[in-house]
Amino acid sequence: MKIALLGYGKMGKAIEEIAVNRGHEIVLRVSEDIESYNLNDVEIDVAIDFSIPKAAFKNITTAFKQHIPVVSGTTGWLDDYDKATKICKTEDAAFIYASNFSIGVNVFFELNKKLAQMMKGLQDYSVEIEEIHHTQKLDAPSGTAISLAQQIISENPNKKNWQLDHADKDEIPVYAKRITDVHGTHTVSYKSTIDTIEIMHMAHSRQGFALGAVIAAEWLKDKKGVYSMKDVLASLFE
Ligand X SMILES: O=C(O)C1=N[C@H](C(=O)O)C[C@H](O)C1
Ligand Y SMILES: NC(=O)C1=CN([C@@H]2O[C@H](COP(=O)(O)OP(=O)(O)OC[C@H]3O[C@@H](n4cnc5c(N)ncnc54)[C@H](OP(=O)(O)O)[C@@H]3O)[C@@H](O)[C@H]2O)C=CC1
Residue 188: phi, psi to the nearest 5? -110, 125
Q: State in angstroms the smallest separation of the CB of 198 from ligand X.
A: 18
Residue 61 contacts ligand Y per CB under 6 A: no
Among 59, 99, 112, 151, binds ligand X (CB under 6 A): 99
Q: State in angstroms the smallest separation of the CB of 91 from ligand Y.
A: 19
Q: Burial, 141: exposed, middle or buried (Cβ in 10 Å; 0-12, 13-18, 19+)?
A: buried
Residue 85 contacts ligand Y per CB under 6 A: no
Distance between CA 90 and CA 71 in Å, rounded? 17
Among 59, 61, 75, 112, binds ligand X (CB under 6 A): 75
Residue 74 contacts ligand X per CB under 6 A: no
- What are the CA-CA distances from residue 209 to residues 62, 122, 170 (Å)? 24, 34, 32
Of 4-12, 119-127, 160-168, 185-193: span binding ligand Y (CB under 6 A): 4-12
Of 97-105, 110-118, 158-166, 170-178: span binding ligand Y (CB under 6 A): 97-105
Q: Which residues participate in catalysis according to the annotation?
A: 133, 137
Residue 59 contacts ligand Y per CB under 6 A: yes
Distance between CA 36 and CA 28 in Å, rounded? 12
Among 99, 112, 147, 151, binds ligand Y (CB under 6 A): 99
Q: H helices of the chain, where?
A: 10-21, 53-65, 81-90, 103-119, 143-155, 207-220, 229-232
- What are the CA-CA distances from residue 193 to residues 115, 119, 123, 124, 190 (Å)? 19, 15, 12, 8, 11
Asked if residue 157 has a cis previous peptide bond (ω within 30° of 0), the answer is no
Q: Which of residues 101-160 bind ligand Y (CB under 6 A)?
A: 101
Among 59, 72, 142, 151, binds ligand X (CB under 6 A): 142
Give the 3-state secondary structure of 51-66. CCHHHHHHHHHHHHHC
Shorter beta-carbon distance to ligand Y: residue 41 or 168: 41
Q: State in angstroms the smallest separation of the CB of 74 from ligand X.
A: 9
Which of helix, strand or coil describes residue 71?
strand
In the list ligand Y, ligand X, none, the entry touching 208 (Cβ below 5 to 8 angstroms by class) is none
Is 29 annotated as ligand-binding? yes
Distance between CA 208 and CA 229 in Å, rounded? 13
Residues contributing to the site for ligand Y (CB under 6 A): 6-12, 30-34, 50-52, 55, 59, 73-76, 98-101, 209
Binding residues for NADP(+): 29
